[in-house]
């Protein structure tokens, strides 16, 4: 979560880190409006990168308390481990993805602002779900997040 506006188009990693106030565990629900996922990059862009919903954990860390690149994630579906990985799976560090986004948004005249939530990318492979599936996310150092698909 951003604690400061990011308005400079020549933003550096140090500037980005200074603007980030909180890091939360989160689950992104991916869903495409394109039937059967027969999707091209232009469809992905038009479909908001297939983003549907997200859930953010209540507790948070600061960048001084954790390194996002080494965050270990485990995702369970109906009690079975289905996906795992670390922050390195996201452009070697989720901060790299966040920096790219901040630069692009500033270049397009839509800079990121205080209070906005940045979803910087997946720490492991996506897991398909259906109605009734119970999902639990664990990221070391954070409270787990659980949901039931409806």
pLDDT digits (tens, 9 = 90+) for 116-136: 999 988 899 989 999 999 999
Q: Which residues pair with 51 in a beta bridge?
A: 30
Task: Look at residue 48 in the predicted model and tell me its pLDDT.
Answer: 54
Task: Return the closest-CA partner of residue 99 out of 22, 2, 25.
Answer: 2
Longest CA pairwise span in the chain (Å): 46
pLDDT digits (tens, 9 = 90+) for 61-90: 999 999 999 999 999 999 999 999 999 998
Checking if the pLDDT of 102 tops 90, the result is yes
- Candidates 3.90.850.10, 2.60.34.10, 1.10.630.10, 3.40.50.880; CATH matching 13-148: 3.90.850.10
Any residues with CB less than 8 A from the CB of 102 and at least 6 apart, and which? Answer: 6, 11, 16, 19, 111, 112
In whole angstroms, what is the distance from residue 42 CA to residue 115 CA? Answer: 29
């Amino acid at each position: 979560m951003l604690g400061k506006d990011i308005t400079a188009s020549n933003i550096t990693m140090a500037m980005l880190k200074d603007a980030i106030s909180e890091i939360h565990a989160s689950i992104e629900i991916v869903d495409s409006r394109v039937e059967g996922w027969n999707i091209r990059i232009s469809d992905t862009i038009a479909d908001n990168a297939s983003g549907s919903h997200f859930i953010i954990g209540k507790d948070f860390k600061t960048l001084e308390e954790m390194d996002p690149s080494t965050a270990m994630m485990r995702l369970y579906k109906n009690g079975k481990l289905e996906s795992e990985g670390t922050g390195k799976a996201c452009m070697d560090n989720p901060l790299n993805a966040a920096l790219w986004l901040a630069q692009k948004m500033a270049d397009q005249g839509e800079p990121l602002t205080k209070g906005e939530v940045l979803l910087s990318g997946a720490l492991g492979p996506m897991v398909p779900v259906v109605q009734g599936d119970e999902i639990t996310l664990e990221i070391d150092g954070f409270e787990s997040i659980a949901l039931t698909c409806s």
